[in-house]
Amino acid sequence: MASKKALGLTAATAALVLGLSACGNGDTGDGGEAGEEFNFGILYPQTGSLAFLGPPQLAAAEYAIEDINTAGGILGTDVPDISEADEAGDAGQANDAANNLVADEVNAVIGAAASGMTQAVYDSVTGAEIVQCSGSSTAPELSDIDDGGYFYRTAPSDLMAGPVMAEQMVDDGHVSMSVIARADDYGSGYLDAVESELEALGADVVHTDTFDPDATNFDSVVNGANNADADAVALISFEEGAQVIAELLEAGFDGEELYVTDGLNDPDLGETVNEDDPEVINGMTGVAPGADNPEFNEGLREFEPDLDVFQFAPQVYDCVTAIALAAESAQSTDPTEYVDHLGEISRPEGTECTSFEECRDLLQDGEEIDYQGTSGNIDFDDNGDPTAATFEVFHWDEDGHGTLDFVDYAEED
């Protein structure tokens, strides 16, 4: 749509104000040639409710940069260490952090992680004509933002995730559903997607409600699900969902009746819900963007041996690699030059390739490429969204302690 084709008023104004800054991003007047460093910044949750997702995002970005440098760097120059900034689960702090990355004249920003934080910062980043790519922001509303064409994401929209959740609930034999979500863009978009698919599958959606994630109790939504006689509950939340789960279990729901999203894909969730009895969540099922790519997981584990959460790591790796390939395709480190090449490096018309080095060599031979990401086939559309995605269905097994047991992969396009 138009937001991906032309600069909006905000972006155009910022381009005038930040003209000198653009020079620092590789604009030399000749398209940005080899020898110029490409600087990545990453805006991710070092603190806040999604802090458990921070380590895999940083590790994946650093892993991608190591692979790029092993192959000779971007345009023949090694990529330096990534600049880090904390989104902290707070819109104001996230925007300050994003502005710091802009002031550092990075050539691209990876992140933010949470959809709400991306909403808070994208104008600061894309308005400065810097490419931004999130590997985990999934809110449907991000497809329509006025980003001047500079925002991309490798994480699929919740419009793709919701049907996977609904199909799993129906496949498990449930017939009357409650859908509970945090009251923000992430929650509302996901709720609508789950509810629509459940109804299309013939299930009875007996209750839907949203909650303030900063609330201290969640009696209203829990009582609503209970009073509606729901036999399964889909919970769309972040860390605060642990308390909602605890209240649902206390109200009489069993783990087998609870379904959660990527924001609760945490190995320590059982202990967070009930420190004295972490097995209380046994039987609970979750759905999250994933990657049917054991080779990548093994490589990342070797790169970062202490990593125990891999959520969104493949998608973040793909953000870094796709941007690097766009720069190679454009023969420029300048975001205003390489941004138009991001869509081109992932289109089906090109030759399929799976690594930075392989894809880069094809580009140097004059071929068009179709980068097949570690998270799966991306194929960016005109809004900068992936048009295909892989989802992982996971389960808290009989061992308790929040142990996650892989169940299956689901493909959506």
Q: What is the mean pLDDT of residues 366-391?
A: 92
**Highest mean pLDDT of the ranges 57-61, 238-242, 396-400:** 57-61
Q: What is the mean pLDDT of residues 67-79?
A: 98
Q: What is the pLDDT, as a whole number, of residue 407? A: 55
**What is the full DSSP assignment across 391-402?**
EEEEEE-TT-TT
pLDDT at residue number 408: 61
In the structure, what pLDDT confidence band is assigned to residue 25 with cuts at 50, 70 and 90? very low
Q: Examine the pLDDT at 190 and tell me if it is beyond 70.
A: yes
Work out the pLDDT band at 34, boundaries 50, 70, 90. Answer: low
Kindly state the helix (H) or strand (E) to which residue 407 belongs, with its residue range. strand 404-412
Higher pLDDT, 398 or 12: 398
Looking at the fold, whether 269 and 405 belong to one and the same domain comes out as: yes
Give the pLDDT confidence score for residue 227 in this predicted structure.
97
Q: Tell me the HSE value of 342 on the side-chain side, using a 13 A CA sphere.
A: 35
Beta bridge partners of residue 286, listed in sequence order: 260, 394
Please, what is the average pLDDT of the chain? 89
User: Residue 23: its pLDDT value, please?
Assistant: 40
Residue 254 shares a structural domain with residue 366: no
Model confidence band, residue 19 (pLDDT cutoffs 50, 70, 90): very low
Domain-located, residue 300 = no
For residues 306-312, average pLDDT? 88
Q: What is the pLDDT of residues 363-375, one digit of tens each?
A: 999 999 999 999 9
Asked whether residue 45 falls in the same domain as residue 182, the answer is no
Confidence check: pLDDT of 390 > 90: no
**220 assigned to some structural domain:** yes
Note whether 30 and 165 are same-domain residues. no
3-state SS, residue 242? helix
Assess if residue 23 is contained within a domain: yes
Q: What is the pLDDT of residue 404?
A: 46
Region of residue 31 (left: phi > 0; alpha: psi -120 to 50; beta: else): left
Same domain, 269 and 336: no
The answer as to whether 348 is a domain residue is yes
- The confidence band for 31, taking pLDDT boundaries of 50, 70 and 90, is very low
Do 29 and 129 lie in one domain? The reply is yes
The verdict on residue 302 lying in a domain is no
- Taking the CB of residue 77, how many other CB atoms lie within 10 A of it? 16
Q: How confident is residue 130, by pLDDT bands cut at 50, 70 and 90? A: very high
Would you report the helix, strand and coil content of the chain in percent, each value rounded to 5? 45, 20, 40
Higher pLDDT, 324 or 14: 324
Q: Give the residue-averaged pLDDT of 339-346.
A: 95
- Specify whether the CB–CB gap between 214 and 244 falls below 8 A: no
Instruction: Indicate if 201 and 169 belong to the same structural domain.
Output: yes
The mean pLDDT of 255-260, rounded to a whole number, is 96
Would 266 be classed as within a structural domain? yes
Q: Is the pLDDT at 397 greater than 80, yes or no?
A: no
pLDDT in tens, 275-306: 999 999 999 999 999 888 989 999 999 999 99
Residue 379 to residue 368: CA distance in whole angstroms: 13
- Has residue 298 been placed in a domain? no
Return the pLDDT at 344: 94
Report the percentage of the chain scoring pLDDT > 70.
Answer: 88
The residue with tokens 């440098």 is 69
Mark whether 357 and 211 lie in a shared domain.
Answer: no
Percent of the chain with pLDDT over 90: 77
Predicted local confidence at residue 399, as pLDDT: 53
- CB count within 10 Å of CB 25 equals 26
**60-69, 77-86, 240-249, 284-293: least confidently modelled range:** 284-293
Mean of pLDDT values over 247-276 = 93
Domain shared by 150 and 9, yes or no: yes
Give the per-residue pLDDT at 403: 44
Domain count of the fold of the chain: 2
CA distance 376 to 317: 11
Tell me, yes or no, whether 83 and 166 share the same domain.
no
In a domain, 385, yes or no: no
pLDDT at 30: 39
The pLDDT assigned to 268 comes to 85
For the record, the structure tokens of 394 come out as 């996971």
pLDDT digits (tens, 9 = 90+) for 140-163: 999 999 999 999 999 999 999 999
Name every residue whose Cβ is closer than 8 Å to that of residue 26 and which is 6 or more positions away in sequence: 32, 36, 38, 107, 332, 333, 334, 335, 337
Q: Are strands 83-86 and 204-211 parallel, antiparallel or unpaired?
A: unpaired
User: Are 394 and 373 in a shared domain?
Assistant: no
- Clarify whether residues 331 and 232 are in a common domain: no
CATH number at residue 136: 3.40.50.2300
pLDDT band for position 266 (cuts 50, 70, 90): confident
Range of the domain at 34: 2-155+312-379
Q: Does pLDDT of 24 surpass 50?
A: no
